[in-house]
Structure formats: C-alpha cells, structure tokens
Amino acid sequence: MEFTRFCFLFFSIFLLSYVFSVHGRLYDYPKVSRFRALSQISLPPSPAPEGAPKIDYAIFNVLSYGAVGDGVTDDTQAFKMTWDAACQVDSAIILVPNHYSFMIQSTIFTGPCKSGLVFQIEGTIMPPDGPDSWPKSVSKKQWLVFYRIDGMSMQGGGLIDGKGEKWWNLPCKPHKGINGTTLPGPCDSPVAIRFFMSSNLTVQRLQIKNSPLFHFRFDSCRDVHVDSLYIKAPPNSPNTDGIHIENTNDVTIRNSIISNGDDCISIGAGCYNVDIRNMTCGPSHGISIGSLGFRNSRACVSNITVADSTIKYSDNGVRIKTWQGGFGAVSKVSFNNIRMESVRNPIILDQYYCDKRSCANQTSAVYISDVIYSNIKGTYDVRSPPMHLACSNSVPCTNLTFLDVELYPAQGQKILEPFCWNAYGALRTLTIPPVFCLLEGTPQSLPRSDVDQC
C-alpha cells in the first residue's frame, strides 16, 4: 500500500512538472490568471518550429479584470484594461474564456504592443443589440478596431456574434424598399472587426456570424494571414462581405467557409500580392475585385490569385467590377481551378458597375489587362450567360486568357452564349460555351497615362 501511494505521489509531481514545461511558466503580474486559464486554451498560439526555443506566455484573463460574461453586463472597460496590461508584455495571451458571453461597446484597441500578442477567443463576444442600443455618442460605422498593431494573432474556438438583424432591417437598406429602392433615414452600420494600419497579422480558427456590415475589414495593412475561418450570415443580409481588404498587400487567405449576403471576399483599391486558396463560398455574391473607381477615383490592383476553390448557389462567381469615370489599372490576375455550382454569373467582368437604375456614360475607366481564367468548371444558373465581359467603350480590356473553361447549364439543355463588349484576348483551348465574341490581338490605342499612375 505504501509503495502504491509513493508511486501515485511521484506520478502526480511528474505530471505537474510536465504541464508547466509544455505551457511555459506564468509570469507573476498583477491580475494574471493562474493555472486554471491554461486549461481553457483549445490550441497553442502556433506550433513552434523544430529546434526553436520555447516561448513563455503570460495569460491575461478578462475575468481577472472585472468582466462578467453574462451577455448583458457591459464588459468594455474590462477588455480595455486587459488589453492595456497585455500590450506591455512580450508573448502575452488575452484570454476570452469558454462558457461566457461578453457584451462589448464599440472600441478601438490601440498599439503598438510588445511582440507575440495573442487574442484568444474561446467564449462569445457580441456588440449591443441593434441601432437603438448603440450609444448616441459613438460611431455606428465600426465595432471592434485594432489600430497600429504589429505581430498579433486573433484565434480560438469561440464565436464573434455581430447581432446584425436589426441593422439589416433599417428602412434605408436595399431589400426593404420596392424593387431594391431605399427609404430615407439613418443608414450607418458597423463593420464587425477592422484592422487599420497594422502588420504581421494572423486571424485563424474563428467563427463569426451576422455582422451588421462587413465581417472582417483590413485597411492599410500588410502581411496578413487568414486561415480556417467560418463566416455565416443570411443570403439576404445586405453588405455583409465576409472579408474585405483595402490598400493592403502581401495577403494570404486559406481554408475557410463563407456564406453571406454579399461578396465572400472583396478586394478594393490599393491591394497587391493577394493569394486566396481552398475557399468554399456561397450562397453569396462570389469573390470580387472591386468595386473600383468610385466617384472618379484612382484604383490600382495587381498580382491577385484565386485558386483551388468552390463557389456555389451565388449571384456571381469570380468578378471584376469597376465604375465608369475611374482611372488606374487592374493587372496580373489569375482565377485557377475553381468549381462552380449553380452560379448565376460564373465569370463576370463589368466595367459598367452601377448600384442605381442607371449611371451616366463616362469616357474614363480603370484599365483591365492580363487576366487568366483557367480550369474553371461546373454549372451556371440559366438566368444569365455563363461569361459576361463588359469592358469600357473607351478603355478596352486586354490580354484576357481562357484555358480549360467548361460551364454547363444547371437546368435544361440550352447553353447560353457568352457576352463580350470591347474585350480582347485569346482562347488557349476551346471553351464551353465557346467565347467567339472575344476580340483577337490588341486595340489600336491604350490608356497609358492612366496605367502609369499605378
């Protein structure tokens, strides 16, 4: 019996020593949570490379700073205090623990912070419930903003619930009026999560649903890595883009599922070096570059790749959309190995984008060139042609390349012919249906002055 007790005691001491060696020691900062917090982290911040030194993480639990987590109490101040404390420590984890729901008002989390900051969401985070609950003195255009952050990871097995339904039902929203018309009244709606002027960001293994507007927005950021997100909103929820990037470069988006009421991913002006792969998108409005050139503005987008993905039951598949009157250029774009399932406009290039009944014709346009459509196969909704290439009268699209494109009607036997207007390019293989309307060669004049400004 004594020998059994001795063995049990020895094993217990060994197990505790092992746990602390794996997770790292806990710094003795005021209000830093103890061992209990470690058990609530579903996954480590990231797997360390073999042979790399172990990182000691300090755990900052929002409960230790006064958060209640009942879904009703305002926990904004507790989150701010937790952020301020963790921001000053190398390799800190802000822990939003499981089994709690935290209501947070519109907040800006400001850097710079020390390196290795992890925002670990294991519970639920939510905003006030609708416009009437939003403080009158606070902007209704954004909810959680991360500003001037370098080297942060946002992750976890929890949920970000945007509670967007009351925002979608504002009278000004397009689906409320007859035939898509809008009614007068306040219309500002908040983006759920916005990163602004930040770098070296990782957003991974998160669920987010029902944002009032965009779910994620990256503005003026660089080195952004998005992986394994699940984003969901109803198909009729207006302007609920899954991920929007603007003036942002060196971006990878991977292995995510997005179903919403607007673009799964939208790429705005000033973006380059963007690589999107292994996405499942729909119902939605597809994956879009644009809209660009709004109110006669300059737009420059280049080096964009969308590959190895599925788009289903969506209004659009892969799309480039620009307003008339803009200037600049879109170039070096590749759409490769994409499966379409009952998509209304699988391939659409629209330089006449307009969100009203009609827009005035203008001579200036964003120049589009060097776009490759390869190995795009599947079915289309027969309400629209499978390929729609509507380029500007004065600024034609050039060097459009089609290779292994096969699109069949989802219902019925009739194959609709593609639509082309002022679009120049080449068919590397015969497409289904054939794009015989594509113009060969190059146009006589090209807008070099606009392109030189990119």
Exposed (0-12), middle (13-18) or buried (19+): which is 440, by Cβ within 10 Å?
exposed
- Whether residue 49 is preceded by a cis peptide bond, meaning omega within 30 degrees of 0, is no
Q: Is 450 helix (H, G, I), strand (E, B) or coil?
A: helix
Helix (H) or strand (E) holding 279: strand 272-281
Number of alpha carbons in the 13 Å side-chain half-sphere of residue 341: 10
Helix (H), strand (E) at residue 36: helix 35-38
Q: For residue 258, list its beta bridge partners.
A: 231, 281
* DSSP classification of residue 173: S
What b/e sequence results for 248-275 when a residue is b if at least 16 CB atoms lie within 10 Å of its CB, and e otherwise?
Answer: bbbbbbbebbbbbbbbbbbbbbbbbbbe
Annotated active-site residue in 215, 244, 285, 388: 285
Give the torsion sign (CA, 407, 411, 412, 417). negative
What is the token pair recorded at 253?
Answer: 């988006």
For residue 57, the one-letter residue type is: Y
244 a catalytic residue: no
Rounded to 5 degrees, φ, ψ at 435 are: -95, 65
Encoding tokens for residue 361?
Answer: 């014709």
Sign of CA dihedral 72, 189, 239, 454: negative
| Number of Cα atoms under 13 Å in the Cβ half of residue 183 | 8
379-381-385 Cα angle (round to 5): 95
Q: Considering only CA atoms, give the Rg of the chain.
A: 25
CA distances from 15 to 12, 38, 41, 54, 55 (A): 5, 15, 18, 19, 20
Cα 20 vs. chain centroid, distance in angstroms?
36
* Active-site residue set: 285
